[in-house]
Structure formats: structure tokens, C-alpha cells
């Protein structure tokens, strides 16, 4: 939510180790253009103390925050709220025209096969099926 509203993650650094340190220790900096309710919800969602974090007691407390005042959650659930922005898609599902070139031409990074976390996961109950759209889907057996 912070990134969507501000344009960058809250503790961003190009240096990953520095970013991790900021996540653990740096104060949350909120731009002055954010409204008081926006500042409040972001501060509460990013509270390092899980017991105080907004949502710790369930989604209802997030939905009841003043940031969402006037939100008709029943209409949201039934997808009855019109979207404010519909991207221009000219070439079907595979259109990448709305993706910044910086990301389109980066090399893909694979998870190493010898990754100890991945190697402990059991994917034997899943198989890959290629639907007509050309996308890969992971389905249970």
C-alpha cells in the first residue's frame, strides 16, 4: 500500500543488506503529501510490533480504519465498484506495452536447485498443465 501511494517501498535501498537493516531499525518516513488517515493506516500496518499492528486481530480492523470510511465492502466483494484506470492493452494477454522497459529486458533469475528451503518442499502433488492460453498453470493431481 505504501509503495502504491508513494511510488517506492517504505525502506527501499539499492543495497539489499542496507534495506534489510532499514526494515529492522529505520524510522518510517512518510511524505508530507499523505493525508492524516493515510499516514495513520500506513503507520499501523507497518508497526514492527506484531501485537500492535493493524490487522493483527483480523481483517475487520483494517476495514474499519478511517482510511476506508465510506467503503462499501459488500460491493467490493461482488466486484461492483468501477475501476478508475483500465490499462490500454493492444496485443492480448501477452501485451507488455504497460511494463517499463527497465523490467522487460532484465535477465530472469532462477531459484538455485540446491536451495535448501526449496529442496525441502514437496511438490509431488502438483503437475504443470499448459492451457490453451499458452500460460503455465500449477494444478493438484
Greater model confidence, 29 or 104: 29
Q: Which of 22-36, 60-74, 124-138 has the lowest mean pLDDT?
A: 124-138
For the segment 101-127, what is each residue's pLDDT rounded down to a tens digit? 888 888 877 666 666 666 666 666 666
- Domain limits for position 116: 2-140
CA 22 from centre of chain: 19
Backbone φ and ψ of 93, nearest 5°: -65, -25
- The residues that bridge with 137 in the sheet, in sequence order, are 129
Is 141's pLDDT higher than 50?
no
Measured distance CA(52)–CA(58) in Å, rounded: 12
Measured over the CA atoms of residue 47, residue 51, residue 57 and residue 61, the dihedral's sign is: negative
Which residues, 6+ apart, have CB-to-CB distance to 129 below 8 Å?
Answer: 136, 137, 139
State the pTM of this model.
0.64
Specify the CATH number for the domain of residue 44: 1.10.510.10
Q: How many domains does the chain have?
A: 1
Amino acid at each position: 500500500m505504501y509503495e502504491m501511494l508513494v511510488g517506492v517501498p517504505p525502506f527501499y535501498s539499492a543495497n539489499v543488506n542496507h534495506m534489510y537493516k532499514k526494515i529492522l531499525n529505520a524510522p518510517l518516513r512518510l511524505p508530507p503529501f499523505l493525508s492524516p488517515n493515510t499516514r495513520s493506516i500506513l503507520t499501523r500496518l507497518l508497526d514492527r510490533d506484531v501485537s500492535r499492528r493493524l490487522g493483527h486481530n483480523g481483517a475487520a480492523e483494517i476495514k474499519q480504519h478511517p482510511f476506508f470510511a465510506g467503503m462499501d465492502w459488500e460491493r467490493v466483494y461482488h466486484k461492483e465498484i468501477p475501476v478508475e484506470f483500465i490499462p490500454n492493452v493492444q496485443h492480448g494477454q501477452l501485451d507488455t506495452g504497460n511494463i517499463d522497459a527497465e523490467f522487460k529486458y532484465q535477465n530472469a533469475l532462477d531459484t538455485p536447485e540446491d536451495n535448501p528451503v526449496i529442496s525441502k518442499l514437496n511438490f509431488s502433488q502438483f503437475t504443470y498443465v499448459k492451457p490453451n492460453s499458452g500460460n503455465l498453470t500449477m494444478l493438484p493431481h
